[in-house]
A and B are shown apart, each in its own frame.
Chain A
Amino acid sequence: MFDVRCPMLDTSLRDHRARGVDTEPFEYRTSNIEYRISNIGHRATIMNTHTAPYDPVFTGETRQRLDRVLERYPTKRAALLPALWMVQETRGWISDAAMTEVAEVLELTPAYVKGVVTFYTMYHQHPVGKHFIQVCTTTPCNLCGAEEVVRALLKHTGCRELGATSPDGKYTVTEVECLGACGFATPIMVGEDFLEGVTAEKVPEVLKRYQ
């Protein structure tokens, strides 16, 4: 296998790598070389291999919740996004084994499920730090100092770079695109919490709440 990085296309390399997103690479084969080019320019993610036996998510209460969700839609497939959210809520991320379980429950193929997971940036395909921090740096927030917030977050969490988890395993900091709160710059998300009006000065105080 021969990995080709397409340098003209890695515009948002960091955001994607941060979330381990593998947006459907194009694969094509010549006589003896297999090319794999992802449209965001990073290398194919190595599949997560598991040696420990898989502990299913959809049992008991969670299974009942899923059954209630299924009643809302005329097809089973439509419950895919909600089901993936449930996996992420329980496990923190969505492993290949979990995708296989979701596929079985909803009568889809694991490849189909993976195709959907990789499309949506909020689904984690890798474990992330205890506090997953996303900072909006799109133009409106950027005008109001969002990049300073990012720098302050990196400094105070000890994360070496965007997308890397801090050595204590507590934090992962990433940039995201517009969080839909542009007038309250800078919004950040810490896990499921949505915070507004964060400035570089407020960062240490914010982090105190997430230990």
Chain B
Amino acid sequence: MGYPHQPHAKETVVLSQYFGDPEARTYQGWVKRGGYAALRTALARKPAEIVEIVKESGLRGRGGAGFPTGLKWSFMPKEKSKPHYLCCNADESEPGTFKDREIMRWTPHGLIEACAIAQYAIQAEVTYIYIRGEFTEPLAIMQRALDEAYREGVLGANAMGTGKRLDMYLHRGAGAYICGEETALMNSIEGRRGNPRIRPPFPAAVGVFGMPTTINNVETLAAVPHILNRGAAWYKSLCLSNPKSTGTKLFSVCGHVRRPGNYEVTMGFPLKDLLYDLCGGMRGGRTLKACIPGGSSVPILNREETESCLLDYEGCATQGTMLGSGGVIVFDDSADMVYQIMRLARFYAHESCAQCTQCREGTAWVTKILQRILAGDGHQKDLDLLLDLSEQMTGKTICVLSDSCAAPVVSGIRKFRQEFEAYLTGARRPAGAGVAV
């Protein structure tokens, strides 16, 4: 459902069915809509069976990397010798992405049920749901739903009367994009600075509190109850293009479209239809200039690429970009690409945890050079310098924040070089716009 808009005929509504329905937020309302049935069936099965079903469904991570979820779960030790943990990644801070927020706001019990199933499948007693600090409303809604779930005996020492322990806690972040990175997230739960950790060891071996841990995105987990209810084959059949990308995906569309919002479509859906049909095209009769299909960390597409891009992991790769988190940022012909790319670089400079030199220095320098170009003080060699810096920032650091900063810069220069050059040659005067430093 294209929340906050009416559902569109081309959408495949699974996760977003109850967006905008306040009754679905309550325990009673959720049960009335068939909620917690999947958890009940899950608890009657063996954990390994659930992992198999999720593997079979083809579900892949919706947090950015697209790693097969069932496979990730299967990395957890089968023989349990120490506590296992599940972390639900609700840190959602990738510019362009606002889908997890909607899942938490409208279907908090859906997420609780999903976490409980995953937690049982990986044999964890405790789940931490890491919510970014700015999400005060989703936090309150989730807390209320958790209290209800405990009161109704869904969670606790005797979950749903099965004698199994399922505990779930919210952990509030405090304003740091990097805490969405899975190992930084674990550090943040442990009460440390949110610095990513070097891998290996991987979280399935040494995770939060040094114990085997699985980290999944909100949307990834939210799909699991539906898979259990309707079967892996059904989920697998939701596919319009490449069979390696299955199910539905929420796309958060923002920027210069007429109807921004969340849209749920089947994997492989054409990006063009999403923008022109579901979102109603560009505002004010303008034309599309560029689009970032997977959150700010992925390469920018120009108009032709956008119009031929299919929205699944492989379709995006064909166009030289990534599906990422599904945050679609749309630029029309009025957008100043140089300024907006600087603004993205500034985001990464602000959010770098400053552990790795390439990232700490690189993000800051890239921003500074872009600001210099924008101020009309750029040198001809600055574009090469930016590309060289980006090269140094890619594939060399503990996490990929640094690569994420390089992606829009490199693709931006490649595809919109004339806009950069207009500033360099003085053909374009500094706009002087913006309160940004």
Contacts and interface: CB of A to CB of B under 8 A. Distances in A.
B431 to A, nearest CB: 11
B364 A121 contact: no
B329 A139 contact: yes
A45 B284 CA distance: 47
Contact of B95 (A24, A106, A177): A177
Contacts of A80: 191
A81 B435 contact: no
A72 B126 CA distance: 9
B350 A177 contact: yes
A116 B135 CA distance: 20
A92 interface: no
Interface string B123-157: 00010000011111100000000000000000000
Contact of B192 (A77, A121, A139): A77
Interface string A77-102: 11111101100000000000000000
Contacts of B326: none
Interface stretch (A47-55, A59-67, A183-191, A203-211): A183-191
B263 to A, nearest CB: 10
A181 B136 CA distance: 12
B193 A139 contact: no
B364 A177 contact: no
A110 to B, nearest CB: 14
Interface in B419-437: 433-437
Contacts of B96: 139-140, 178, 182
Interface stretch (B166-174, B236-244, B388-396): B166-174
A8 B173 CA distance: 30
A122 interface: yes
Interface residues of B, number: 71
A182 B292 CA distance: 13
Interface stretch (B26-34, B55-63, B251-259, B308-316): B251-259
B182 interface: no
Contacts of B435: 137, 147, 150-151, 154, 162, 175
A144 interface: yes
A81 B189 CA distance: 8
A166 interface: no
B52 interface: no
Count class of interface residues, chain A: 35 or more
B367 interface: yes
B84 interface: no
Nearest to B346: A11
Interface string A1-31: 0000000111111111000000110000000
B296 A139 contact: yes
A120 B354 contact: no
Contacts of A171: none
Contact of A140 (B95, B177, B351, B434): B95
A84 B176 CA distance: 15
A77 B256 CA distance: 44
A92 B77 CA distance: 44
A176 B435 CA distance: 12
B343 A182 contact: no
B331 interface: yes
7 contacts: A73-B209, A106-B191, A120-B176, A143-B331, A177-B350, A182-B98, A184-B4
Interface of A: 8-16, 23-24, 39, 72-75, 77-82, 84-85, 106, 115-116, 119-123, 134, 137-140, 142-144, 147, 150-151, 154, 162, 175-185, 189, 192-194
Given A82-B171, A138-B95, A139-B347, 18 more contacts: A11-B349, A73-B209, A77-B192, A78-B209, A81-B171, A119-B353, A120-B174, A120-B175, A134-B134, A139-B340, A140-B95, A143-B256, A143-B340, A144-B254, A176-B134, A180-B132, A182-B98, A185-B254
